[in-house]
Amino acid sequence: AGAGRAPALPGAGVAQVTVRDALNQALDEELERDERVFLLGEEVAQYDGAYKISRGLWKKYGDKRVIDTPISEMGFAGIAVGAAMAGLRPVCEFMTFNFSMQAIDQVINSAAKTCYMSAGAIPVPIVFRGPNGASSGVAAQHSQCFAAWYGHCPGLKVVSPWSAEDAKGLLKSSIRDDNPVVMLENELLYGVAFEMSEQAQSKDFVVPIGKAKIERPGTHITLVAHSRPVGHCIEAASVLAKEGVECEVINLRTIRPMDIETVEASVVKTNHLVTVEGGWPQFGVGAEICARIMEGPAFNYLDAPAVRCTGADVPMPYAKILEDNCTPQVKDIIFAVKKTLNI
């Protein structure tokens, strides 16, 4: 999607902006807007971030607002949660969400549960963010999607952006939210440029948490995805359109709370559903969507069973050809659509 093109200047109408630059803009604007906001994590300050998301922010805001931490996720996540309880608004970067396993006690038992256990007396306004899911050639211990893990836990909000507009708007909403938010980005999208409207480039732009977006309207089948697979769904829809099949592509944007109403309304219209995700099949995001459709009013409108298109049920292999076979590709989505429509 136009990767590598330089972003136009804000105010020049529609611009090509990478996901990396969109996240950087969001952090810059929120650090400037609210002095309680600060960023901490490994290499976020002097090195400008492992993925250059925080480029230039340490030079601009200094040591108190952009903080390099030791390699101890449990330690710096705990510091961030305590800071949030004390009234600050930390943004805690994990170099990959696979490393958030080191800090899952802080995320779940401390951040997610405190507001409820204190009867609302102690809000925990914190954002845990970083790359999630498979990257490229980083093997099993760096390739897991945690959308289902964190989406399982009450007390958290969980967002999963696809485009630059998603990334900027959801990060700004997450920082302003009084609840702990887990923001699952995708490393392979950081360098991809998307069109951003003039409105999306403004400092007031936010994407509401809990609202999905219809990226492509269609009438024959509903495709629901989050993060990078949204792009695969749009590619698959373009191929299928040449064969007369019109897919409605829904970008979930938020995993928890899930906008099941948008999915239901689409299924009522198309009568068919395929869910697409990079995570494992068992207890996954797609499994949850299918269950919610089964239990709700849209079930009576289905003309075929809902189908899940997921990652393979194995730890991620290192070899590229095996890696490609373990994550949903455009051809897999096309196959799932044709299977569902019996064509």
- Cα separation, 166 vs 251, whole angstroms: 10
Contacts of 78 (CB under 8 A, 6+ apart): 103, 106, 110
Facing residues of 248 across strands?
Answer: 222
**Active-site pick, 42, 73, 248, 323:** 73
73 among known catalytic residues: yes
**Active-site pick, 30, 142, 226, 272:** 142
Terminal C-alpha separation, the chain: 29
Beta carbons within 10 angstroms of residue 244's beta carbon: 8
- Cα separation, 271 vs 19, whole angstroms: 34
| Cβ contact 281:308 at 8 Å | yes
Q: Alpha carbon of 263 to those of 120, 227, 309, 336: distances in Å? A: 31, 16, 16, 18
The size of the chain, in residues, is: 343
**What is the crossing angle of helices 285-295 and 260-270, to 10°?**
70
| Cβ contact 267:296 at 8 Å | no
Contacts of 106 (CB under 8 A, 6+ apart): 74, 77, 78, 80, 81
**What is the crossing angle of helices 229-241 and 330-341, to 10°?**
60
43 among known catalytic residues: no
Which residues are known catalytic residues?
73, 142
